[in-house]
């Protein structure tokens, strides 16, 4: 059942799909928590993001992450490009210095240092080095906050990395950036979205 009513705080229209009269909805315009009135009318209109397969809790909190705050597709592409190039420097260094064993060790250590820094950035700030440079970050769609190590690294990077073994998975994952909410498969896996700082 989809209900439509006006926010008692800002007067803007609210459309909810999973809530009943008496339950609390969050206004996507002002962020106020509003009780769904008993006289809320049924509607055929769909709330924003209703096409996604999301949980009731996520639907209730979607107002926290406004569409206007979502990171741009270009920003996300540039951040990914930077993150892809950063590990390349130690690898090239490693290849060029293959004759000199001490330099090989330095190259390996540099590569490990980049990996550790990326993990720390993801866990503490919801950003990779590239995302930090471009000024975007990963947040949980349920509360608009950083998801930490499990969400940002294990789910978005490791689980998603394993899934890339499936033919065409990476292509499909990338193409979902053209959705209105710009969430890719790895965002759905982790319950995240990418926003501007």
pLDDT tens profile 126-176: 999 899 999 999 998 877 889 999 999 999 999 998 999 999 998 999 898
Q: How would residue 122 be classed by pLDDT, with cut points 50, 70 and 90?
A: very high
Instruction: Count how many Cα atoms sit within 13 Å of the Cα of residue 110 in the half-sphere of its side chain.
Output: 15
Query: What's the rounded Cα separation, in Å, for the pair 152 and 194?
Result: 11
Helices (H), 97-159: 101-125, 129-134, 148-149
Residue 6 neighbours by CB distance under 10 Å: 14
Model pLDDT for residues 57-99, shown as the tens digit of each residue: 444 444 445 565 788 888 888 988 888 787 766 666 666 655 6
Strands 41-42 and 33-35: unpaired
Query: What's the rounded Cα separation, in Å, for the pair 12 and 20?
Result: 19
Q: How high is the pLDDT of residue 19?
A: 75
Query: What's the rounded Cα separation, in Å, for the pair 183 and 174?
Result: 9
């Amino acid at each position: 059942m989809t209900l439509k009513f006006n926010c008692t705080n800002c007067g803007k229209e609210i459309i909810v799909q999973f809530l009943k009269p008496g339950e609390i909805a969050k206004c996507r315009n002002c962020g106020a928590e509003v009780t769904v009135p008993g006289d809320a009318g049924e509607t055929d209109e769909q709330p924003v993001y209703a096409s996604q397969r999301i949980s009731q809790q996520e639907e209730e909190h979607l107002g926290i992450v406004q569409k206007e705050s979502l990171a741009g597709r270009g920003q996300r592409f540039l951040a990914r490009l930077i993150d892809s190039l950063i590990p390349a420097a130690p690898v090239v260094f490693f290849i060029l210095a293959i004759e000199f064993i001490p330099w090989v060790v330095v190259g390996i250590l540099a590569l490990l240092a980049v990996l550790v820094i990326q993990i720390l950035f993801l866990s503490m700030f919801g950003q990779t080095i590239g995302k930090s440079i471009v000024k975007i970050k990963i947040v949980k769609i349920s509360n608009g906050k950083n998801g930490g190590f499990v969400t940002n690294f294990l789910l978005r990077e490791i689980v998603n990395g394993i899934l890339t073994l499936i033919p065409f998975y990476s292509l499909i994952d990338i193409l979902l950036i053209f959705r209105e909410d710009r969430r890719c498969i790895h965002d759905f896996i982790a319950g995240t979205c990418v926003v501007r700082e």
